[in-house]
Amino acid sequence: MKILLLILSCFLFINTVTNAQYKINKTQYDYRTYKHQIGDPYNPSVDGFASFLIPGLGQMSTGELRRGFAFLGEYAGCWAICAIGASTWYEEDGVEHGGPLLVYLGFFCAIGVDLFSVVDAIRVAKVNDLFFRDKKKAGYNLQLSPYFGSSAKEKIPVGVSLKVLF
């Protein structure tokens, strides 16, 4: 139980630090234009695989906690429907009663939620990567570095260089 609380608190911390807002970002960025670059904070394939293992985990790892918990809740609900159907399923006089329909419905809905979670995690990671690239570009970068001249003919052999990037 302590490990689960630790994991959930880490996801909450990631969500507050990254300030990822997929609902807003998806209107401004097209995931189809995404090309992976070095320095992207999220890896869409890893997030997709994480959502395949546990639906919603990929969304949670990209900072979309509510979205991830929604997928996880839907997945658990589908398995609950399947369990209800299995618990009421019985056969009497050669006729099946209860929930074979619920078992099949819950099972196939769980598979559907799992697959949709994978696709959504990949899209969320791509859109949030595009957002963070623009956020990184919109800032500025100041670099101060020492300068040492290589020849004796230079008037100022030692100094400081300033590099400003916008």
57-92 confidence digits (pLDDT tens): 999 888 888 889 989 999 999 999 888 888 887 777
* CA proximity to 36, closest of 18, 23, 48: 48
42 close to 62: Cβ distance less than 8 angstroms: yes
8/122: higher pLDDT: 122
Looking at every residue in the chain, the average pLDDT score rounds to 78
Q: What is the pLDDT of residues 104-124, one digit of tens each?
A: 888 999 999 999 999 999 988
Q: What is the pLDDT of residues 46-56, one digit of tens each?
A: 999 999 999 99
Supply φ then ψ for residue 97, to 5 degrees: -120, 165
